[in-house]
């Protein structure tokens, strides 16, 4: 498993830092955790094409963690040779956010279909959304994932993700203070990534 910090910035724009975003490469899967400002530019700089990302995990719906989700949705669609939907997992409210983004992108999608026959053949933008609470399990390729409650009050709900692959464990959280969910998520982890603003 390989972990790349694509962005570690705060909500205030910084020319030297992109917004919160971490790339987790587990086997043949490229997973983004959060998708803040500049995430796709940093993804390309890391040598990973947006079309190679099939899963986005969202810790919470603060704008600085999701500003580039629309860019991820559109750019991977434009760059794909074979159409596959983006899988998005996040806390309650994620589906409403993605639905609103998809509505915002309707005209852009129409314009691109009008100009590009290959995109018409690939079909429409497609995103599969699953909302998760704490203590849930899923698999991404050969990686197992569990969700854990984090504490970013007054923002609710917020979750962190624990990914296990080939005997290695990475725990990832957005903004949080110490809490039982973080303790469980980080137990015996090889790497812990958390948003910290000082």
Q: Give me the active site residues, please.
A: 64
For residue 178, count CB atoms less than 10 angstroms from its CB and return exposed for 0-12, middle for 13-18, buried for 19 or more.
exposed
**Contact assessment for residue 157 and residue 91, using Cβ atoms and an 8 Å cutoff:** yes
The radius of gyration computed from the CA coordinates of the chain, to the nearest angstrom, equals 16
Burial 55-70 (b: 16+ CB within 10 A, else e): bbbbbbbbebbbbbbb
CB of 36 within 8 A of CB of 65? yes
Cα 6 from Cα 81, distance rounded (Å)? 25
Task: Report d(CA 149, CA 155) in Å as an integer.
Answer: 12
**The residue count for the chain:** 198
Alpha carbon 79 to chain centroid distance? 18
Do 3 and 23 touch, CB atoms closer than 8 A?
A: yes
């Amino acid at each position: 498993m390989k972990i790349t910090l694509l962005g570690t910035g705060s909500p205030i724009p910084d020319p030297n830092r992109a917004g919160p975003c971490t790339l987790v490469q587990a086997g043949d899967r490229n997973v983004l955790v959060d998708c803040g400002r500049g995430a796709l530019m940093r993804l390309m700089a890391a040598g990973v094409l947006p079309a190679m990302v099939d899963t986005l995990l969202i810790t919470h719906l603060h704008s600085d963690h999701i500003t580039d989700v629309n860019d991820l949705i559109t750019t991977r669609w434009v760059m794909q040779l074979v159409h596959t939907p983006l899988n998005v997992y996040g806390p309650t409210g994620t589906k409403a956010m993605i639905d609103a983004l998809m509505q915002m992108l309707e005209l852009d999608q129409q314009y691109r279909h009008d100009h590009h026959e290959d995109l018409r053949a690939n079909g429409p933008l497609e995103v599969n959304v699953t909302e998760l609470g704490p203590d849930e399990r899923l698999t991404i390729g050969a990686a197992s994932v569990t969700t854990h409650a984090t504490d970013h009050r007054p923002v609710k709900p917020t979750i962190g993700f624990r990914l296990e692959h080939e005997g290695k464990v990475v725990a990832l959280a957005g903004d949080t203070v110490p809490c039982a969910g973080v303790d469980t998520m980080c137990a015996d982890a090889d790497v812990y990534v958390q948003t910290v603003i000082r």
